[in-house]
Amino acid sequence: MRVRPVRPNIYLPVVRFGVADSDWFSVLLISCAGYLVPVPLGLTVLYVPLQMWTWLLVTAGSIAFFNYIRIGRRANWLNHKIKSLVLHHRQYRAIPNGRKNSFNRTWLIDAPSRDGAFEADRFLPARNARIVFLLEHNNRFQEAYYERWNTVLLTTN
């Protein structure tokens, strides 16, 4: 019998009902909350106390939620989604190798040379050249904007 390489699975989470072992504490807390919230009301549905129905629905819902965020998603997918919704995109940048494309438009980044071809400025580092180019472009745009609207305002008086 030939010896075959075996990859150890000790770093993979233990999964029951599609929920990782680290998430079962959250499922338990959510289930307890679903059971205890309707207790003061004392309501019954089909001669069964309401807390039994809510416990069953909340437990099934929490297991389905944890299955949804785990199966077919990358690690820490939910954390990244929540941060991207809460924080501004400049504070929390895109995930590397994510769906959002990086800024790679060479016609904006690189400065034109004397012969008309686009090349990076050799005297400045690439990052400084990009910043200088974008600032100059912004200044030209603002000057053209003010010139256009000031002439319109002067002729309408």
pLDDT digits (tens, 9 = 90+) for 24-45: 999 999 999 999 998 888 888 8
Backbone phi, psi, residue 26, to 5°: -65, -40
Span 136-154, average pLDDT: 76
Query: How far is the C-alpha of 131 from the C-alpha of 94, rounded, in Å?
Result: 20
* Residue bearing the bigger pLDDT, 82 or 116: 82
Query: Are the beta carbons of 94 and 102 closer than 8 angstroms?
Result: yes
pLDDT tens digits for 116-138? 554 544 454 566 777 778 888 88
| Reported confidence tier of residue 96, pLDDT bands at 50, 70, 90 | low
pLDDT tens digits for 40-54? 888 888 888 888 899
Query: Are the beta carbons of 126 and 135 closer than 8 angstroms?
Result: no
Query: Are the beta carbons of 31 and 55 closer than 8 angstroms?
Result: yes
In the chain, where the domains are located: 15-71, 106-156
pTM: 0.49
Query: How far is the C-alpha of 129 from the C-alpha of 41, rounded, in Å?
Result: 68
3 state DSSP class of 16: strand
pLDDT tens digits for 102-115? 555 555 555 555 55
Query: How far is the C-alpha of 147 from the C-alpha of 55, rounded, in Å?
Result: 68
Query: How far is the C-alpha of 56 from the C-alpha of 6, rounded, in Å?
Result: 40
pLDDT of res. 32: 94
- 77: tokens are 């997918």
Radius of gyration of the CA atoms of the chain, in A? 30
